């Protein structure tokens, strides 16, 4: 196994941070696209089918509108957030290891039913 130099190690961290920032920009653009699509469609909540069967019927009639009402765009932006979270964790882990490891566990523990 070869040892990495400090420069190579820093380049790997930079690649993680750049990837996270790229995905964060994609999430912002996806969110803006969601706002624009909602504005174009009029935002009439009564026009959206209230049942899952109704939404799938709408999907059969108009594929793009059906996918929008089935929240495909929100699903995509949520999946795009995974690399952003990894990048944020990496930044915390690199400089503040205690916060990166112990604080999320503490938050999870405080929000669980054990403390209630």
Check pLDDT > 80 for residue 114: no
CA dihedral for 23, 28, 33, 38, sign (positive or negative) = positive
Q: pLDDT of 7-56, one tens digit each? A: 666 778 888 889 999 999 999 999 999 889 888 887 777 778 888 888 88
Closest CA to 19 of 85, 78, 84, 80: 84
In this prediction the pTM is: 0.69
- At 78 the pLDDT is 93
- At 1 the pLDDT is 45
| Sequence-distant (≥ 6) Cβ neighbours of residue 82 within 8 angstroms | 23
The whole-angstrom separation of Cα 78 and Cα 87 is 15
Closest CA to 59 of 46, 72, 76, 42: 72
């Amino acid at each position: 196994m070869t040892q990495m130099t400090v420069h190579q190690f820093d380049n790997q961290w930079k690649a993680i941070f750049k990837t996270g920032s790229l995905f964060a920009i994609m999430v912002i653009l996806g969110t803006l696209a969601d706002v624009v699509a909602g504005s174009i469609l009029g935002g009439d909540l009564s026009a959206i089918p209230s049942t899952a069967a109704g939404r799938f019927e709408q999907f059969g009639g108009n594929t793009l509108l059906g996918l929008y009402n089935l929240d495909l765009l929100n699903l995509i932006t949520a999946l795009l957030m995974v690399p952003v979270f990894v990048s944020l964790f990496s930044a915390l882990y690199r400089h503040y290891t205690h916060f990166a490891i112990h604080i999320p566990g503490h938050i999870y523990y405080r929000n669980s039913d054990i403390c209630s």
